[in-house]
Structure 1
Amino acid sequence: MNWTDVFASRMERMKASEIRELLKLLDQPDIISFAGGIPDPALFPAEAFQAALADALSPANQGTALQYSVSEGYGPLRDWLATHMQGLGVACSRDNILITSGSQQALDYLGKLLLSPADTALVSWPTYLGALGAFNAYEPQYDRLGAGGNRSAADYAETAQAKGGRVKFAYASVDFANPTGETLDLAARSSILDLAEDLDIAVIEDAAYQALRYDGDPVPSMLSLEIERKGSIEDCRTLYCGSFSKTLAPGLRVGWVCGASQVISQLVLMKQAADLHSPTLNQMAIATVAAAHFESHTAMLRRVYAGRRDAMLAALATHMPEGVTWNKPEGGMFVWLTLPKHLDAADLLRLSLETQRVAFVPGRAFFADGSGANSLRLSFSLAGDAQIDEGMRRLGVAIRAAV
């Protein structure tokens, strides 16, 4: 059978993730990898999870942990998240929260909910590769969010109409963004909210790294800013996507969406149709560990990862040749490197792997239009100081050879 004849047209937009492919390199012990945005497993609160899972599987709780459950998610976890969101300036209840299998599933559901073929999604240039992968299945067009700084809502709308659809949402990774490590300041967040009002579209706020701020002043979430404007989450167009993957444990695949209950109820229908509910056992373990350890554990992560960020910035300053530039993130897991214009980071990766055994993610994958060839993403979360310094030394050698 020729399967390509029966595949849906959307499969033409589905491509293998460069990051997922690069993660396979972690099995090669001689590779120094700065590719995946992966938490350090040595920092997982493993003992706390052992105790939480044992409690969930005790005779008193195993009937709940191992049984079917409601699609909205485990009630005590949703209550904890409602309190957590209130601490971020978002007044809400459990009815405003849906538990998803990681924030990646949340992005997929929101793409399904909001996009018809040829509709336009506004995204940054570059943007999170996983978001593009999630949205691509629904056959959208993309336009550059914030390009030029002064584009009008009418211009965005006319451009979308010329492509056969309408603008449906603006997507933004707001704190220490994947891939650039950049944070949207208050003015940028307010500008996106203003544009969304003018276009009457949704705002998807990706806050996966919100808890990992190492220095600088916190910036209010876009959802909290909109609540200040409108008085109630029920009147807001912003949908906040959070995750425990970068803070507690990615393998349990627990994330959430917080937004107006009218939207949450529609996402619940998608959850029912897709997988009924996220694993209750995992949710119970996360709820127990988060209630007891979230603040102290994330404080420890901030201390450790801040040191690794500083080690990478120092190593870059020592080893990078002239013409290479990079940003200085206030948090998160990434540093964004810009090479001289004539260099292609994909070609550099092949050279680097062959001669220096150093891995990173070429930047082109993060651009909706395939541009950004002379950029790359480095993750500092998984390497110690000595390995970071040696890796940057080797990468500098590779760049000099490529020039």
Structure 2
Amino acid sequence: MSIEQIFATRTERMKASEIRELLKLLDKPGILSFAGGIPDPALFPSDAFAAAMAEIMKTGSDTALQYSVSEGYLPLREWIAGQMADIGVPCTPDNILITSGSQQALDYLGKLFLSPGDTALVGWPTYMGALGAFNPYEPRYDQLSVNGNRAASDYASEAETTGGKVKFAYLSVDFANPTGETVDQRGREAVLDMAEELDCAVIEDAAYQALRYDGEDVPSILALELARKGDLEACRTIYSGSFSKTLSPGLRVGWVVAAKPVISQLVLMKQASDLHSATFNQMAVHRVADAHFDSHVSMLRTVYGRRREAMLAALEAHMPQGVQWTRPEGGMFVWMTLPAGMDGADLLSYALETYKLAFVPGRAFFADGSGGNTLRLSFSCANEAMIDDGMARLGAAIRETMI
């Protein structure tokens, strides 16, 4: 007998992340990588964390090293509540759950809402980690429109083809992974209108919200819904935040803000899954955030903003005719569309072999496996000279492989 024969059917939809595999290339000499959407480790507030952790071990080790409540470290939840109030979402710590990164939040939300055959509305493309989190719960995917071009009744009737219902719309509205694009306020309002008609949830992934380099802030979907309804407990939007792109990805601290019935169910999942996120990590993040968050994020905006500008300038200088790309106002990504007939995966193979250049082919970001002529570039971990060199290599590789 092969043990694989008795695996649950959900494992058939669990696939390796292309990004996780590409990150292994960073250990190979000579590879110039624009693949991983990861923060620059040189910008981590390492000294602040070292001081915070030393102080925790000196004065708070009994709490830091012990089991704790599943909801999360209360001072950290109180700090997050203050941040949420600043963006138009006043809430209490009881509306907040600390998760092991926002990725765990997506897994829990898929588990909470999706039965086999239910429909999840997602972007085309969308964050591949969200697809990875939702896939084991065996949903059907449909393409989310943020411009109001599709009627809610169309979504509902198509969802019925698999015997399920539309359970949620998932979207990253600020500098989205992978496109770098931002949904304007009209689009956010349209998503809320559609969700009301479908009586489904909205999952707002705000992992990059703090990293705006120019343009005007747009109210979060949760803030817009709260303005409509006046009570967070009446809101269907679930906000997912993270410290991974601002303070540290390795400490794995994220959070969910939602109405209390949602939080209560997620707490039950947390208890059954890992009991609670690491208390030591939460305490460290709280101390660093409380003392340094605003100044640190301001520095990140300056550095990443320069790198964004360098990438856009290098693309203008080096890309052949027929190549298009997004112009993000923040975040870490530029999304490229190649001429029709080109394949991003084939281009990656050629670029690695010929130019020692890495990026992420776009197909993995599409729920239906389309988008072969797209790719994602990340500018977060390369300085301006590396960016210009890399885009020159990419332009050459595209010219040499164009049909």
TM-score (norm 2): 0.99
| Equivalent in the alignment of 2:6 | 6
CA–CA distance in structure 1, aligned partners of residues 311 and 151 of structure 2: 39
Once the two structures are superposed, the pairs formed by residues 139-178 of structure 1 within 5 Å of their partners are 139-146=138-145, 149-178=148-177
Correspondence for 1:261: 260
Alpha-carbon offset, residue 147 of structure 1? 7.5
Distance in structure 2 (CA, Å) of the matches to 1:95 and 1:117:
30
Q: Secondary structure at the match of 2:339?
A: coil
Q: Please say if residues 91 and 232 of structure 1, whose CA atoms lie closer than 8 Å, have aligned partners that are also in contact.
A: no
- In the other structure, the counterpart of 1:37 is 37
- The 5-angstrom pairing of residues 4-403 of structure 1 reads 4-58=4-58, 60-146=59-145, 149-403=148-402
Q: Deviations 1:300-331 (Å, cap 9, x if unpaired)? A: 00000000000000110111011101110000
Could you tell me how far 1:150 is from its partner in structure 2? 2.0
Partners of 1:214 and 1:225 lie apart in 2 by 22
- Asked whether the equivalents of residues 146 and 191 of structure 2 are also in contact (C-alpha less than 8 Å), the reply is no
* Inter-partner Cα distance in structure 1 for 2:152 and 2:337: 31
Contact 1:56 / 1:62 at 8 angstroms: preserved in 2? Answer: yes
Distance 1:172 1:269 in 2: 25
Aligned residue for 2:250, secondary structure, equals helix
Secondary structure of residue in 1 paired with 2:21: helix
CA distance in 2, matches of 1:57, 1:6: 46
1:107-156 CA distances to partner (integer Å, 9 max, x unpaired)?
00000000000100000100000000000010000000008842111111
For the residues of structure 1 that align with 2:202 and 2:261, how far apart are their CA atoms?
Answer: 15
Superposed CA RMSD in Å reads 0.8
CA contact (8 A) 1:124 1:145 kept: yes
In structure 2, distance between residues paired with 1:248 and 1:127: 24
Summarize deviations over 1:172-204 as a string: whole Å, max 9, x none: 111000000000000000000000000000000
How far, CA to CA, are the matches of 2:49 and 2:167 in structure 1? 40
Change (3 A) 1:147 1:247: closer
Q: Helix, strand or coil for the counterpart of 1:341?
A: coil
User: Structure 2: where are the runs of 5+ without partners?
Assistant: none
Secondary structure of the equivalent of 1:218? coil
Measure the CA separation in 1 of the matches of 2:176 and 2:328.
Answer: 9
SS in 2 for 1:335: strand
Q: Is the Cα contact below 8 Å between 1:73 and 1:277 reproduced in 2?
A: yes
- TM (normalized to structure 1)? 0.99
Helix, strand or coil at the partner of 1:57: helix
How far apart are the structure 2 equivalents of 1:305 and 1:151? 36
Distance 1:227 1:314 in 2: 40
Q: Structure 1 vs Structure 2: percent identity of aligned residues? A: 70
Q: Secondary structure at the match of 2:204?
A: strand
Deviating beyond 6 angstroms after TM superposition, the runs of 4 or more aligned structure 1 residues are: none
The answer (yes or no) to whether the contact 1:116–1:140 under 8 Å persists in 2 is: yes
Q: Post-superposition shift, 1:389?
A: 0.5
Gaps of 5+ in 1: none
Q: How many residues align?
A: 402
Distance in 2 between residues matched to 1:233 and 1:2, nearest whole Å:
50
Q: Which secondary structure state, in structure 1, belongs to the residue aligned with residue 85 of structure 2?
A: helix
User: For 1:145 and 1:37, how far apart are their aligned partners in 2?
Assistant: 23
Q: Structure 2 CA distance, aligned partners of 1:128 and 1:370?
A: 13
- In structure 2, the residue corresponding to 1:376 is in which secondary structure? strand
Q: Distance in 2 between matches of 1:147 and 1:182?
A: 12
